[in-house]
Amino acid sequence: MLVQPRLTVSAPDLGALNWPRSVADATALAGVGRAWRRTKHHLDWINKQQVALCRVPAPTFAERARGEHLSAVFSELGHCPSIDDAGNVVVPLVHSARLPYVAVTAHMDTILAPSAPDDVRVKPDGTITGPGVTDNGAGLATLLGLARLLSDPLVENPERNVLLVANVAEEGEGNLRGIRYLVEDSPYGERIDRYLVVDGASLNHITDAALGSKRFELVIDGPGGHSWNDFGAPHPVHALAGAITRMTRARLPTQPKTTLSVGVVEGGTSVNSIPTSASAKIDVRSVNPAEIRRVQQAVEEAARKAVAAENQNASGGRLGCVLREIGNRPAAPPLPRNPVAECFHAVDFHLQIPSASDCSSTDANVPLAAGIPAAAIGCGGLGGNVHAPSEWYAPKGRDLGLRRLLLGLACLQMRS
Ligand SMILES: [Zn+2]
Closest-CA residue to 176 (of 13, 60, 18)? 60
Residue 127 DSSP code? -
Residue 165: band (very low, low, confident or very high) from pLDDT cuts 50, 70, 90: very high
Render pLDDT for 48-86 as a digit per residue (tens, 0 to 9). 999 999 999 999 999 999 999 999 999 999 999 999 999
Closest-CA residue to 24 (of 15, 356, 377)? 15
User: With contact defined as beta carbons under 8 Å apart, do 189 and 296 qualify?
Assistant: no
Residues with CB under 5 A from ligand 1 (ion): 1, 135-136, 199
Q: Could you give the CA distance from residue 379 to residue 405 in angstroms, rounded to a whole number?
A: 8
Residue 241 pLDDT greater than 90, yes or no: yes
CA of 218 to the centre of ligand 1 (A): 26
User: What kind and span of H or E run contains 195?
Assistant: strand 192-198
The stretch 131-150 carries a mean pLDDT of 97
Closest-CA residue to 263 (of 177, 387, 106)? 387
CA of 180 to the centre of ligand 1 (A): 15
For 171, phi and psi rounded to 5 degrees? -80, 155
CATH of 3-210+332-414, one of 3.40.50.2300, 3.40.630.10, 3.10.129.10, 3.40.50.300: 3.40.630.10
Residue 25: band (very low, low, confident or very high) from pLDDT cuts 50, 70, 90: confident
Render pLDDT for 355-414 as a digit per residue (tens, 0 to 9). 999 999 999 999 999 999 999 999 999 999 999 999 999 999 999 999 999 999 999 998
CA of 231 to the centre of ligand 1 (A): 47
What mean pLDDT is reported for the chain?
A: 93
Higher pLDDT, 13 or 312: 312
The stretch 212-220 carries a mean pLDDT of 96
- Alpha carbon distances (Å) from 395 to 49, 51, 383: 12, 11, 9
CA of 135 to the centre of ligand 1 (A): 5
Render pLDDT for 244-299 as a digit per residue (tens, 0 to 9). 999 999 999 998 899 999 999 999 999 999 999 999 999 999 988 889 999 999 99
CA of 1 to the centre of ligand 1 (A): 6
CA of 112 to the centre of ligand 1 (A): 12
Residue 23: band (very low, low, confident or very high) from pLDDT cuts 50, 70, 90: confident
Query: What pLDDT, on the 0 to 100 scale, is given for residue 17?
Result: 55
CA of 37 to the centre of ligand 1 (A): 29
Domain boundaries, the chain: 3-210+332-414, 212-329
CA of 322 to the centre of ligand 1 (A): 30
Residue 416: band (very low, low, confident or very high) from pLDDT cuts 50, 70, 90: low
CA of 256 to the centre of ligand 1 (A): 23
Residue-wise over 202-237: b if at least 16 C-beta within 10 A, else e?
A: bbebbbbbbbbbbbbbbbbbbebbeeeebeebbbbb
CA of 387 to the centre of ligand 1 (A): 9
Render pLDDT for 166-199 as a digit per residue (tens, 0 to 9). 999 999 889 999 999 999 999 999 999 999 999 9
User: What kind and span of H or E run contains 36?
Assistant: helix 30-54
Residue 3 pLDDT greater than 50, yes or no: no
CATH architecture of 212-329: 2-Layer Sandwich (3.30)
Query: What pLDDT, on the 0 to 100 scale, is given for residue 181?
Result: 98
Query: What pLDDT, on the 0 to 100 scale, is given for residue 15?
Result: 45
CA of 140 to the centre of ligand 1 (A): 10
Residue 16 pLDDT greater than 60, yes or no: no
pLDDT > 90 in the chain, percent: 86
Q: Length of the chain, please?
A: 416
